Structure 1
Amino acid sequence: MGALDEGHFCSELENGVKLGCIDLSFEEEPETIAIEDAVKVLMQGLGEDVNREGLKKTPLRVAKALREGTRGYRQKAKDIVQGALFPESGLDNTVGHAGGAGGLVVVRDLDLFSYCESCMLPFQVKCHVGYVPSGQRVVGLSKLSRVADVFAKRLQEPQHLADEVCSALQHGIKPAGVAVVLQCLHIHFPNLESAFLDSNHQGWVELLVSSGSGVFENENANLWADFLNLLRFRGINVEKNRMRDSSDQHWCPSRSPSGAIAASKIESVNQGMVTAVASILRSLGEDPLRKELVGTPARFVKWLMNFQTSNLDMKLNGFVSDRVDPQKLNGDGCKEKKIRSELNLSFWSQCEHHLLPFYGVVHIGYLCTEGFNPIAKSLLQSIVCFYGFKLQVQERLTRQIAETVSSLLGGDVIVVVEANHTCMISRGIEKFGSSTATIAVLGRFSTDPAARAKFLQSIPNTAVSGR
């Protein structure tokens, strides 16, 4: 490989960039070490072996992801805006409308993510920012996104995030006014029992919030109508009267009545794990005693306990104790086998590399004689949930589901898993909208391309989404 010898190449793959571009002292910083130690406590509390292959570097990966995802604590919005204000003649202190002197400027569809301050799970944000320039100057458009990202990269709740972005831009740019609209999507707070009983357990919490300053302080101002109409040009349908204050309601599913019921089914919280999460908050630059964060460590631990390894084998054994009679499955050998399928079986899981959720749907196909239905959909959903509610990787999840279904049916199985990974948006490349598909084939499906193609073509052409 020449200059790129194997060791150098592996180092690049592990870190994502060349070693020469990395601050090698990061791993030795006290905050990083403290988070690593806390993550080990959490993993042990889940019944995991921290020395298991695949988990050895998880504490460091989690520390990197959390510190990267909360880097806003170490940034200042004013440092971004200063030096990015440009003179533009014709923009005076009067307030015009879009296209006129002092006209409205709108930047739409800024994809952000943040960590919920109530449960520490990531939530997605579609941010739209508008401002009316004044003082014969405008700001570089990229700075609007960067300022919003500074505040998103902290533990947040939507209304507070919108207010902080609006205030920072108002003080930094000194325009006639600033308007901010956030479309927020919070992941579900599932629990093991409901997932086994309900295949439609995913559920998502959507929230639309806004904030305005200057000429936008009046919610009925004509400029608000202009701003919202400019959003509609892109198919963004938001109504001012639909916007709500997340502080006046249970935005986070962990604090909603249903979330509280789900959490109450989990046995008493491990106080050592709660203390570990509080240590993580301090290492990120937060105060665990801040009133909005007082219950956060316990709520995060309750989420993690959904993925505890102990006692899950007992649950699975109750579902799959009996194998299907091969004679019934295959018939008398004269009848042609047909492909049967169960599509869009939903699942949740927790990535064992970064302790971040991934979610999606599973499609299962198998061969059996016509007229025979050997396995109920509820059983397949239970198998999917069993393997999902663990620290996992998608490739292993796909294989385990295929092998378990094959052991029940004694033969020909194909499994496709489609998933969205929050680690793809909350760290590294921050690639919104990406999804991952994996496939496992056993028996005839491994040797019959036509059978594989027929099953794959039966999968609905719908994107995996958080909705």
Structure 2
Amino acid sequence: MGAFDEGRFNVELENGVNLGGCVELGFEEDPETVAIEDSVKILLQGLGEDVNREGLRKTPLRVAKALREGTRGYRQRVNDIVQGALFPEAGLETGIGHAGGAGGIVIVRDLDLFSYCECCLLPFQVKCHVGYVPSGQRVVGLSKLSRVADVFAKRLQDPQRLADEVCSALHSGIKPTGVAVVLQCLHIHFPNFESAFFDLNHQGWVKMLFTSGAGVFEDDKADIWGDFRSLLKFRGINFEKTCPRDSSYKCWCPSQAISKMGPANSGMVSAVASIIRSLGEDPLRNELLETPTRFVKWLMNFKNCDLEMKLNGFVLGRMDALRPNVNIGHLDEDIHSELNLSFWSQCEHHLLPFHGVVHIGYIRTEGVNPIRKTILQSIVHFHGFKLQVQERLTRQIAETASSLLGGDVMVVVEANHTCMISRGIEKFGSNTATVAVLGRFSTDLASREKFMQSIPNFPTARE
């Protein structure tokens, strides 16, 4: 776990804050942006990609914009955010008790944040809950609690340090009787290419709870924590899953257990270190020393190679007919379906992961046997593990399945894109669906409707 940098934090409190901290429009010529673009080109070339092909030409700039927006907290400080938003409010300054909220506490719940994991550079999602007990007959504007949390979230982070920094900033800035911060964090657990085929029970998320307290909340066994927890119980929070402070890395970032893939490309590693430096961080900081290597090893899952040749050999070697006891969905005597085939991919526009499920329906024609679910899952993985866009992925799966199933195929892909949360739009919980129809499905409305109705009605995000 990264140590809380108290010295750097105190300097920020003293110097104030630049409230215009978002990335400026027209910043493309900034040296930092140009440096990130150059580094992204090196990464794309290391993946065997043509940086001038359609779809990738603007990727270096898009990545640079996303990273600078997502780490704008390095260009912000916290003092003026709260100093201009303290309001007088008479409280219980004598006798026993505290004023404000329920039992003395003011709580703002369900603040959606995202941050970049300093261990692997992948974005993670945060549901933040902040509480404080007012003192000195003053309260703070509630929106400022969110703004302070966002300043520290928009940096390369470890969740425990994020909780500690938000807590310390508020305790120093508004001088309350106490501050408490609870973070529900979700880190995507992206499988590597090989394990995706063999680990059918792969868990796609690591979910952890992190807490921090100051003042009357400093003792995590204090009675005041009972009030805080009671007001969060309706949010489905299980405090038994709180990550121990001394083992944050071990129980949090999946990249800590990254498989051995041999030495990483030194040029790509240097490029990632350059990106970290351009964002305002020190790549030689102890917690960041291995980050470039981890990121490159993860990124190499999507190296451009002759997947079509591999796919043909893989499928032809497994095209045995189904045994009678194999379970496959039947919508009627002709329409078959395979639902909820998992997929993992990498957006070629922003170099950020997207993932979800694929549903395949097909009309069985005479002389064509149904094929095993494992083969359809393999088709999905083969097309998923490369730089992609969801529309192309849907079409490629449909075309490949059609060549094996007789031509009448419908494919629905439901996906969650991390680029939808880790850029300026920050649309948490959004989901994208794409559809491809071939053969009779393109003209037979009844068949399309029947297949659509068979698709489970549940979200693929954050579950």
Partner Cα separation in structure 2 for residue 354 and residue 440 of structure 1: 24
Contact 1:208 1:242 in 2 (8 A): yes
C-alpha distance in 1 between matches for 2:141 and 2:95: 21
Report Cα offsets for 1:417-450 as digits up to 9, x if no partner.
Answer: 0000001111021010110000000000000000
The answer for the alignment partner of 2:169 in structure 1 is 168
Deviation at 1:131, TM superposition (A): 0.1
Structure 1 residue 243: Cα displacement: 4.5
Relative distance call for 1:94 and 1:194 in structure 2 (3 A) is farther
Are residues 239 and 399 of structure 1, via their aligned partners in 2, closer, same or farther at CA, if it must alter by over 3 Å?
same
Instruction: Choose the corresponding residue for 1:423, options 407, 416, 419.
Output: 419
Secondary structure at the aligned position of 1:320 is classed as: helix
TM-score relative to the length of structure 1? 0.88
User: Per-residue CA shift, 1:96-121, capped at 9, x if unaligned?
Assistant: 35767982000000111100000000
Q: CA deviation at 1:201?
A: 2.8
Give the Cα–Cα distance (whole angstroms) in 1 for the partners of residues 191 and 95 of structure 2.
Answer: 52
Deviation at 1:408, TM superposition (A): 1.2
Report the equivalent of 1:144. Answer: 145
Spell out, residue by residue over 1:378-408, the C-alpha distance to the aligned partner (whole angstroms, 9 max, x if none): 1100110111111100000000000000011
The answer to whether the aligner puts 1:391 opposite 2:392 as a matched pair is: no
Structure 1 CA distance, aligned partners of 2:60 and 2:200?
Answer: 32
Q: Contact conserved, 1:356 with 1:423, CA < 8 A, in 2?
A: yes
Q: How does 1:306-455 map to 2 (within 5 A)?
A: 306-321=301-316, 338-368=334-364, 373-455=369-451
Select between 100-109 and 444-453 the one with higher mean Cα deviation: 100-109
The CA deviation at 1:318 is: 1.9
Is the alpha carbon distance of 1:147 and 1:369 closer, same or farther for their aligned partners in structure 2, counting shifts above 3 Å? Answer: same
Change (3 A) 1:23 1:124: closer
Confirm or deny: 8 A CA contact 1:414 1:441 kept in the other structure.
yes
Q: Is the 8 A contact 1:93 1:135 kept in 2?
A: no
Q: Is 1:54 equivalent to 2:55 in the alignment?
A: yes
Secondary structure in structure 2 of the residue aligned to 1:275:
helix
- Alpha-carbon separation, structure 2, partners of 1:22 and 1:286: 17
Change in CA separation of 1:24 and 1:458 when aligned onto 2, cut-off 3 Å: closer
Distance 2:242 2:50 in 1: 48
Instruction: Output aligned runs, 1:99-178, within 5 Å.
Output: 103-178=104-179
More deviation, 217-226/26-35: 217-226
- What CA distance in whole angstroms lies between the structure 2 residues aligned with 1:461 and 1:387? 25
Report the CA distance between 1:370 and its aligned residue: 9.4
**In structure 1, C-alpha distance between the alignment counterparts of 2:38 and 2:418, rounded to whole Å:** 23
Give the whole-Å Cα distance in 2 for the aligned partners of 1:402 and 1:306.
23
Query: Within 2, Cα distance between the matches of 1:425 and 1:275?
Result: 27
Percentage of matched positions with identical amino acids: 75
Deviations 1:178-222 (CA, angstroms, capped at 9, x unpaired): 000011111013100111223443431111110000000111111
Q: Is the 8 A contact 2:334 2:363 kept in 1?
A: yes
Inter-CA distance 213–22: structure 2 relative to 1 (3 Å threshold): closer
> How far has the Cα of 1:268 moved from its partner?
2.6
CA contact (8 A) 1:104 1:130 kept: yes
Asked whether the 8 Å contact 2:73–2:152 carries over to 1, the reply is yes
> Does the 8 Å contact 1:324/1:409 carry over to 2?
no
Displacement after TM superposition at 1:465 (Å): 1.5
What is the TM-score normalised by the length of structure 2? 0.88
Partner of 1:218: 219
What SS is found at the alignment partner of 1:249?
A: helix
Structure 2: stretches of 5+ with no match in the other structure: 1-21, 321-331
Find the residue that maps to 2:151 and give its secondary structure.
Answer: helix
1:77 corresponds to which residue?
Answer: 78
Residues 98 and 134 in structure 2, CA contact (< 8 A), matched pair in contact too: no
* Structure 2 Cα separation of the partners of residues 101 and 316 of structure 1: 61
How many residue pairs match? The answer is 431
CA contact (8 A) 1:77 1:150 kept: yes
Find the aligned partners of 1:267 and 1:436 in 2 and give their Cα distance: 36
> In terms of mean alpha carbon deviation, does 77-86 or 66-75 score higher?
77-86
Post-superposition offset of 1:77: 1.3
Alignment counterpart, residue 280 of structure 1, candidates 275, 281, 298:
275
CA–CA distance in structure 1, aligned partners of residues 220 and 51 of structure 2: 53
Q: Structure 2: how far apart are the matches of 1:360 and 1:305?
A: 20
Mapped to 2, the partners of 1:440 and 1:431 lie a distance apart of 25
One-letter identity of the residue aligned with 1:391: L
Q: CA deviation at 1:324?
A: 7.5
Secondary structure, in 3 states, of the residue corresponding to 2:294?
Answer: helix
Aligned partners of 1:167, 1:366: CA distance in 2, in Å?
Answer: 58
Structure 1 residues 463 and 240: CA distance shift in structure 2, 3 A: closer
CA 316–83 in structure 1, closer or farther in 2 if over 3 Å, else same: same
Instruction: Note closer, same or farther for the CA distance 1:98–1:183 as it changes in structure 2 (3 Å cut).
Output: farther
1:26 match: 27
- Give the Å deviation of 1:22: 8.8
What residue number does 1:10 align with?
A: none
User: CA separation of 1:294/1:136 partners in 2, compared to 1, >3 Å: closer, same or farther?
Assistant: same
Q: Is the 8 A contact 1:347 1:384 kept in 2?
A: yes
Distance 1:65 1:99, change over 3 A: closer
Aligned CA distance change for structure 1 residues 314 and 76 (closer, same or farther; 3 Å): same
3-state SS in 2 of match to 1:27: coil
**Aligned residue identity for 2:430:** S
Task: Give how far 1:170 is off.
Answer: 0.1
Deviation (angstroms), 1:314:
3.8
Q: Displacement, 1:310?
A: 1.9
| TM superposition shift of 1:142 | 0.4
The residue that corresponds to 1:235 in the other structure is 235
Q: Report the aligned-residue RMSD.
A: 2.4
| Structure 1: distance between partners of 2:271 and 2:64 | 13
**Structure-2 change in CA distance of 1:44 and 1:100 (3 Å):** closer
User: Residue 241 and residue 397 in structure 1: after superposition, are their counterparts in 2 closer, same or farther (change >3 A)?
Assistant: closer
Alpha-carbon displacement from aligned partner over 1:149-204 (angstroms, at most 9, x marks no partner):
10000001111110000000000010000000011111013100111223443431
Moved more, 214-223 or 336-345: 336-345
State whether residues 190 and 344 of structure 2, in contact with CA within 8 Å, keep that contact through their aligned partners in structure 1. Answer: no
Alpha-carbon spacing, 1:413–1:201, altered in 2? closer, same or farther (3 Å):
same
Contact 1:91 1:135 in 2 (8 A): no
CA contact (8 A) 1:88 1:138 kept: yes
Deviation at 1:309, TM superposition (A): 1.0
How far apart are the structure 2 equivalents of 1:409 and 1:235?
Answer: 46
Cα offsets for 1:42-97 (capped at 9, x unmatched): 00000110000010000000000000000000001112112011111225387735
Instruction: Give the AA of the match of 1:375.
Output: I
